[in-house]
Chain A
Amino acid sequence: MIKTLLFKSKFVLLVILPIIAMLLVRTFFIDHFKNGAENNAQSAFDGSNCIAPSDSAFLAENSLLVYLDHQPSKYTNHLNFIALNPSKLFDMNTLQLIKQNEGKVILISKDQNLTARVWMLLAQKGIKNIYVLSNEAQEAFKYQFQPDTTLGAEELELE
């Protein structure tokens, strides 16, 4: 009976098991980004990935503050923080720490561009609870531009 069973399950052993193995390897062991780049980045385009320092989520106990380019000094009361060198972002320990955090993971940097880049990289890995510390959900222009209304086509010598 065992021989019959083994004979009948040859197809399963030779074909289906390798496919299942390949699927598991592709899902869990190969280092790649999550499919669907646009969906992964959606919260960046509508600003819902930003948290202001005044937001209550920022100082919540289960929030993890990730300092990207400096050591924390101002919010020393918040104990749940790490200082992370961005070049080590995809180290296994770092990713595990971020994924396992129950609350929000908030990226903090003096350079907003660095924060944005790190955020996008993590979002494309499928990590959902990542936020950027920013006072402006949508980028605000800080100056005023006054056009020179004295300029006309004649002054500019347009043909």
Chain B
Amino acid sequence: MNARQKISIVLVLIGLILVFLPGIGQYSFKEKPKALLNSVLEDDACLSVDQVAVLLNNDDPSTQLIDLRNKEEFEQFSIPGAINIPIKQFFKRKPEIWLYNTAARYVFYGNGDLYSGYALVMAQGLGYKNCWIMKGGLNAWFDVVMNSQFSGDYLSPRENARFENRTKAKQFFIEINSLPDSLKLKYAESKRQAERSLDGGCN
């Protein structure tokens, strides 16, 4: 085999690699653009703060809240049960280290809507379909849940249920976030055990 043939074979192999393999060392979106566009624009991709409050009050084990703010903000307060993954770190590595549980429902939130919007597209683009956002972020949480007030003489049953849901979530939020860090986890777990025993469930 002469030199020209060897060079040709090398060039062919390089060409095949360029055709079939993605950029090395980088992760890239797996989804097709139009399919991802339809997926992230669905209304189902967003949860309202009332829906998140229901999940919080029911202690839904299949839901994991992800707080995308920086560490200092998270340590001041957060929605009980949330884990903190600052957005700058979230995508430094493949998100599979955070979003490993395919049966779970991951809900992103930040102070507003920007971070959660970015995170939703990134996660779904990389193939993690079990991701949602809390619409409005913590600003909406405070607006709707924390500042919820009863006014007037009469509440319909639906309004009453919503008000009770918000009040319960608000109470839980204040209790948890008023604790020092060492007691936060302990309290959340003891509260869950107390509610299970009231319901007659297993401890």
The answer to whether A139 touches B112, judged by C-beta atoms less than 8 angstroms apart, is yes
The answer to whether B19 touches A139, judged by C-beta atoms less than 8 angstroms apart, is no
Chain B proximity of A132: nearest CB distance (Å): 7
- Whether a CB of chain B sits under 8 angstroms from the CB of A33 is yes
| A46 cross-chain contacts in B, Cβ below 8 A | 88
The answer to whether B91 touches A158, judged by C-beta atoms less than 8 angstroms apart, is no
| B114 cross-chain contacts in A, Cβ below 8 A | 44, 50, 112-113, 115-116, 132, 134, 136, 139
- Which residue of chain B is the closest to A24 with respect to CB atoms? B19
- Whether a CB of chain A sits under 8 angstroms from the CB of B187 is yes
- Whether a CB of chain A sits under 8 angstroms from the CB of B111 is yes
A114-137 toward B: CB 8 Å interface, digit per residue (1/0)?
Answer: 111101110011000000101010
Q: Given contacts A23-B15, A89-B37, A158-B183, are A37 and B125 in contact (CB under 8 A)?
A: yes
Interface core residue of A15, A117, A142, A158 (most chain B CB under 10 Å) = A117
A128-159 toward B: CB 8 Å interface, digit per residue (1/0)?
Answer: 00001010100111110101110101001111
- Which residue of chain A is the closest to B139 with respect to CB atoms? A142
Which of B22-30, B96-104, B159-167 forms contacts with chain A?
B22-30
* Complex Cα–Cα for A145 and B135 (A): 20
| A158 cross-chain contacts in B, Cβ below 8 A | 183, 186-187, 190
The answer to whether A111 touches B113, judged by C-beta atoms less than 8 angstroms apart, is yes
A-B pair count, CB < 8 Å, reads 170
The answer to whether A38 touches B38, judged by C-beta atoms less than 8 angstroms apart, is no
Which of B12, B32, B37, B69 contacts A16, CB < 8 Å?
Answer: B12
Which of A32, A35, A39 contacts B33, CB < 8 Å?
Answer: A32
Interface size in chain A (residues, C-beta < 8 A) = 56
A75-94 toward B: CB 8 Å interface, digit per residue (1/0)?
Answer: 00000000000110110000
Which of A16, A116, A132, A156 contacts B15, CB < 8 Å?
Answer: A16
The answer to whether B33 touches A121, judged by C-beta atoms less than 8 angstroms apart, is yes
Chain A proximity of B146: nearest CB distance (Å): 7
* Complex Cα–Cα for A144 and B38 (A): 37
- Whether a CB of chain A sits under 8 angstroms from the CB of B158 is no
Q: Given contacts A86-B41, A113-B46, A120-B117, are A141 and B33 in contact (CB under 8 A)?
A: no
The answer to whether B125 touches A31, judged by C-beta atoms less than 8 angstroms apart, is no
Q: Given contacts A113-B113, A117-B117, A147-B177, are A37 and B122 in contact (CB under 8 A)?
A: yes
The answer to whether A37 touches B175, judged by C-beta atoms less than 8 angstroms apart, is no
The answer to whether A145 touches B34, judged by C-beta atoms less than 8 angstroms apart, is no
Report, nearest first, the 3 A-B pairs whose CB atoms are least far apart: A116-B117, A113-B113, A35-B23
Q: List 22 A-B contacts (CB under 8 A).
A: A11-B8, A20-B15, A22-B19, A23-B19, A37-B126, A39-B26, A86-B41, A89-B37, A113-B133, A113-B135, A114-B41, A115-B114, A116-B114, A120-B118, A121-B33, A141-B73, A141-B138, A141-B139, A145-B77, A156-B187, A157-B194, A159-B190
